[in-house]
Structure 1
Amino acid sequence: MSETVNTFEAQQKGRPTGPLVGGYEVIIGFETHAQLSTASKIFSRASTAFGAEPNTQACAVDLALPGTLPVMNKGAVERAIQFGLAIGAHIAPKSIFARKNYFYPDLPKGYQISQFEIPVVQGGAVEFFLGEEKKSVRLVRAHLEEDAGKSLHEDFIGQSGIDLNRAGTPLLEIVTEPDMRSSAEAVAYAKELHKIVTWIGICDGNMQEGSFRCDANVSVRKPGAPLGTRREIKNLNSFKFMQQAIDYEVRWQIEQIEDGLEIQQATVLFNPDTGETRAMRTKEDAADYRYFPDPDLPPLCISEQWVQEVRGQMAELPRVMAQRFETSYGLSEYDATALTQSLPLSAYFEATAKAGGQPKLAGNWIMGEVARRLNAQDIGIESSPVSAQSLGQLIGRIADSTISNNAAKQVFDALWDGGTDVDAIIESKGLKQMNDTGALEAIVDEVIAANAKNAAEFKAGNDKALNALVGQIMKASKGKANPQQVNDLLRSKLA
């Protein structure tokens, strides 16, 4: 664990302010603990598997028995390097492990092995969209450390116990500058960070199991005033609760200040049942932990060759893929970013675009109708009843004017309900558009003759009158006329 760097006044010059809340500016920084996806712990060979019986996965090293020594897990270091490369950070060629001293029952050694002055990952940034506005949050650092155990409180028997299975689990703590200005921006950042660590495979991102734990440092101030005193909301384990907790904390701090009270630096917890935060303990500063270099661990040295080897083994990064989507498929930056929110989503888009030959239309359908259906059923793209090939075929039939957009929605409904052959669905439902120009022209002539008033109004300059004529033609053609052809024919005949 570390403290968000508080060189705010020097670093924030020129950075935009966010929306004011009751006349106050909200300042938010994040500390996120990502549990690394190694099979064993950071300094021992004990398993990191979740859900084992208490204290069955804690070896002598994890228990800090006399004479035991930590041995660095190479896989944890490689995952830290991957993260640094993913966010454009500096990978320190030499970093130091330190002892962070504090005394909790779930910390067997009486200290936590972490990094302080020289972390393994330094700097970098996380970019994301908030709505259609592009944002960037700068990172201070990401450092390796071991997790503590877990206190178990059995209220019904009035006893507490300690489970040390989690002790020694490898963590990468990711610390931001205080760059966020609203709970919505904080959640958007957290989601993007979650996407990055799961995309590159260094963390499974399971928030319910504690694999991705976020702490939000929140303060408020009047615009132009010095930075306010922050309170740290610990262990936010869902994006929904994250936003609720920050919003409540902001309101609480403003009310305290308006009542003439001072904010005390503290660690607080969020209660989702009440929607409130409550102070857990006075917040410590770095000096309280008496950091000093761990004498049992030599400096961690990372050669440039090692960094390049790790780089060569990494999959295409989301920001790189998004840039490729812009170049290769002609998408906007916003659309390309939206379609690279996960590897399964990006793969689905590419397969759809290739099958249908219309990347922009494919993106619109995936971000629109497909996303709406998935959200309604609370399932991921991997579970979509409509395959990428079927959606691509459907888009191809829209593009070649076989069916209209309205008919396409009927076809999509049938695909979602278990259909597989787009052309068969179109035939069975009689959804083909009229391609016989002569037949369509005859319908247009009949409608013009039967609606002379609307035709005259359009000729007189009333464009709305054209819509009435189009509606009549679509009705006469039972929805099979191509709307664009109808418009062109009407304008030509009424010119």
Structure 2
Amino acid sequence: MLSPEILAKYQPVIGLEVHVQLLTESKAFCGCINQYGGEPNTHVCPTCLGLPGALPVLNRKAVEFAVLAAKAINCEIRETSIFSRKNYFYPDSPKGYQISQFDKPIAEHGWIEVPAFDAAGAAITKRVGVTRLHMEEDAGKSVHDGFADSVSKTYIDLNRCGTPLVEIVSEPDLRTADEVFEYLTKLKEILLYTGVSDCNMEEGSLRCDANVSVMLKGAKQFGTKAEVKNVNSFRYIRAAVEYEIERQIGVIEEGGRVVQESRLWNNAEGRTYSMRSKEQAHDYRYFPEPDLPPLVVGAEWQAEILKEMPELPEARRARMIAEYEISAQDAATLTATRAFADKFETAAKKAKSPKRVAALLTSELTMRLRLAGLELEQSPVSMDGVVMAADLAESGELSSKMLKQLLDISFEKNEDFPVVYEREKPQQISDAGAIEKMIDEVIAGNPKQVEQYRCGKKTVAAFFVGQVMRLSKGQANPALLNELVVKKLDS
């Protein structure tokens, strides 16, 4: 571990390359099903196998998804873009090249805003540039079998060949591992809202490489970068970047030189390993794809595509805070996914108090779902049940304690809230005379606390409220009870 003083001498510089599989029904340039898994080499055809004479035909939906993704991250759409052949030999690329975009990508010059901290440690919003978003096809998958009798075997599954991708390349604007995490989190959230990808990292729908370098603070030239690959979660990417920053600083501090290379992250060991040298940029010998004409996405088509653009997370949060008068924290929780936000808004429009619905969803329901290991879609309490619970609490017919008890029963018995409520029928006591009778009983039994209250210790009133609540089995109307306790004690 390097000392904080040594680390403080250096400025990390980080850029990201994010590959996102598009959620189309068929592949990028053929009619094969675009689906994860399946028996190896069954979702293939002459086109994705690269057989002679097979010609690619561009998937229109993939173009529309690429435009949606690009506009969602504030990119400019290039009206005419070009597909190219990226030439390299690897066993899981049967054509010997990848159809991609090079000097004329479909979109450029975007940005994403992320939470960050300035040099003084104050919270700020930082704009991270997006250099480009371009379309390409995925390669197949190499499956390594381990060692048997000292012989390693690798199998090739070409089902993934031809899956439509967009690659999103950031500017080298990121300066910490935390900023990397925030950028990826924000990017994933935006892409999920647009519906262009499921962003499932475990299935390879979203893959990220980080280009990391360090330089002395105040230097004008970036240091030599290393590319970190093979990281399958945002948490591990943050750890890999932190490790790589410290590794490079250590190399320089010891008088060495950082080598331009690709490095693999080993999660079990918490470190990166050299994969291959990249002293010189690899010459992929790009040239225009002769079997595909230029892609023209004119203003009219762009306008048609953008009709499908949903309200994006940041805008939705701001609107919900203003419209429903909920807190920024609740808005952030409720808009974590488009589905959750949709469900909240549907419920909020039916309820007496949207704020009460928000509170129920973000605290009571979310907490119970987490403890039960359930997703929102698996909740025994429906959105109509949430509305009913919120309305009963808002009208004062249910105390907070009673509401919690009924929700507990819903989860224990896997029953919706209205079913539980109709069966249990807890009645809140709102009769002032009945509550006063219980208060008198508690006051009579606790003269010491009465004397403390009369000597100026007003907080003792909470003791009497608690005792009456216990006596009423949690059914006394809380607001009325508090009012009557103070009134009785003062008199």
Q: Do residues 147 (structure 1) and 138 (structure 2) align?
A: yes
Q: Structure 1's 128 and 444: CA in aligned 2 closer, same or farther, altered over 3 A?
A: farther
CA contact (8 A) 1:44 1:62 kept: yes
Q: Do residues 373 (structure 1) and 364 (structure 2) align?
A: no
Out of 43, 46, 71, the residue aligned to residue 32 of structure 2 is 46
CA contact (8 A) 2:380 2:416 kept: no
Deviations 1:433-457 (A, max 9, x none): 3201122223334434444443444
Out of 184, 194, 205, the residue aligned to residue 188 of structure 2 is 194
Q: Structure 1's 426 and 150: CA in aligned 2 closer, same or farther, altered over 3 A?
A: closer
Q: Which amino acid aligns with 1:375?
A: R
Q: Which amino acid aligns with 2:211?
A: N
Q: Which residue of 2 aligns with 1:476?
A: 471
CA contact (8 A) 1:355 1:393 kept: no
| CA distance in 1: counterparts of 2:364 and 2:257, whole angstroms | 50
| CA distance in 2: counterparts of 1:432 and 1:222, whole angstroms | 69
Q: Which amino acid aligns with 1:402?
A: E
- Give the drift of 1:423: 6.3
CA contact (8 A) 1:153 1:161 kept: yes
CA contact (8 A) 2:380 2:415 kept: no
- Give the drift of 1:36: 1.3
Q: Which amino acid aligns with 1:148?
A: A
- Give the drift of 1:370: 2.2
| CA distance in 2: counterparts of 1:388 and 1:316, whole angstroms | 22
Question: How do 1:327-366 and structure 2 match up within 5 A?
Answer: 327-366=322-361
| CA distance in 2: counterparts of 1:400 and 1:129, whole angstroms | 39
Q: Which amino acid aligns with 2:208?
A: C
Deviations 1:42-84 (A, max 9, x none): 2233333332443344433334344444332222111111112
Q: Which residue of 1 aligns with 2:387?
A: 392
| CA distance in 1: counterparts of 2:368 and 2:252, whole angstroms | 45
Q: Structure 1's 279 and 33: CA in aligned 2 closer, same or farther, altered over 3 A?
A: same
CA contact (8 A) 2:78 2:106 kept: yes
Q: Which amino acid aligns with 2:77?
A: I
Q: Tell me, what secondary structure is at the counterpart of 1:408?
A: helix
Question: How do 1:80-119 and structure 2 match up within 5 A?
Answer: 80-119=66-105
Out of 123, 129, 141, the residue aligned to residue 138 of structure 1 is 129
Q: Structure 1's 257 and 481: CA in aligned 2 closer, same or farther, altered over 3 A?
A: farther
Q: Tell me, what secondary structure is at the counterpart of 1:160?
A: strand
| CA distance in 2: counterparts of 1:42 and 1:397, whole angstroms | 52
Q: Which amino acid aligns with 2:134?
A: H
CA contact (8 A) 1:419 1:425 kept: no
Out of 224, 235, 246, the residue aligned to residue 229 of structure 1 is 224
| CA distance in 1: counterparts of 2:487 and 2:14, whole angstroms | 60
Deviations 1:392-431 (A, max 9, x none): 2112121111222122111111111236464664576574
Q: Structure 1's 446 and 423: CA in aligned 2 closer, same or farther, altered over 3 A?
A: farther
Q: Tell me, what secondary structure is at the counterpart of 1:253?
A: helix
Per mean C-alpha deviation after superposition, the further-off stretch among 77-86 and 365-374 is 365-374
| CA distance in 1: counterparts of 2:64 and 2:282, whole angstroms | 30
| CA distance in 2: counterparts of 1:331 and 1:135, whole angstroms | 25
Q: Which amino acid aligns with 1:454?
A: Q
- Give the drift of 1:333: 4.1
Per mean C-alpha deviation after superposition, the further-off stretch among 112-121 and 347-356 is 347-356
Q: Which residue of 2 aligns with 1:122?
A: 108
Q: Structure 1's 316 and 260: CA in aligned 2 closer, same or farther, altered over 3 A?
A: same
Query: Normalising by structure 1, what TM-score?
Result: 0.85
| CA distance in 1: counterparts of 2:199 and 2:257, whole angstroms | 37
Q: Tell me, what secondary structure is at the counterpart of 1:288?
A: coil
Q: Which residue of 1 aligns with 2:120?
A: none
Q: Tell me, what secondary structure is at the counterpart of 1:196?
A: helix
Query: Normalising by structure 2, what TM-score?
Result: 0.86
Q: Structure 1's 96 and 333: CA in aligned 2 closer, same or farther, altered over 3 A?
A: farther
Q: Tell me, what secondary structure is at the counterpart of 2:30?
A: coil
- Give the drift of 1:173: 0.6
Question: How do 1:182-261 and structure 2 match up within 5 A?
Answer: 182-226=176-220, 227-261=222-256
Deviations 1:225-246 (A, max 9, x none): 4534332222422334333333
Out of 64, 71, 75, the residue aligned to residue 57 of structure 2 is 71
- Give the drift of 1:286: 5.5
Q: Which residue of 1 aligns with 2:283?
A: 288
Per mean C-alpha deviation after superposition, the further-off stretch among 278-287 and 203-212 is 278-287
CA contact (8 A) 2:114 2:179 kept: no
- Give the drift of 1:280: 0.9
- Give the drift of 1:121: 1.8
Q: Which amino acid aligns with 2:71?
A: L
Q: Which residue of 2 aligns with 1:308?
A: 303
| CA distance in 2: counterparts of 1:187 and 1:378, whole angstroms | 25
- Give the drift of 1:307: 0.8
Out of 248, 264, 271, the residue aligned to residue 266 of structure 2 is 271
Aligned residues with identical type, % of pairs:
43
- Give the drift of 1:37: 1.9
- Give the drift of 1:309: 0.8
CA contact (8 A) 1:354 1:392 kept: no
- Tell me the matched-pair count: 477
Root-mean-square deviation (CA), in Å?
Answer: 3.1
Q: Do residues 158 (structure 1) and 152 (structure 2) align?
A: yes
- Give the drift of 1:266: 1.9
| CA distance in 2: counterparts of 1:73 and 1:216, whole angstroms | 29
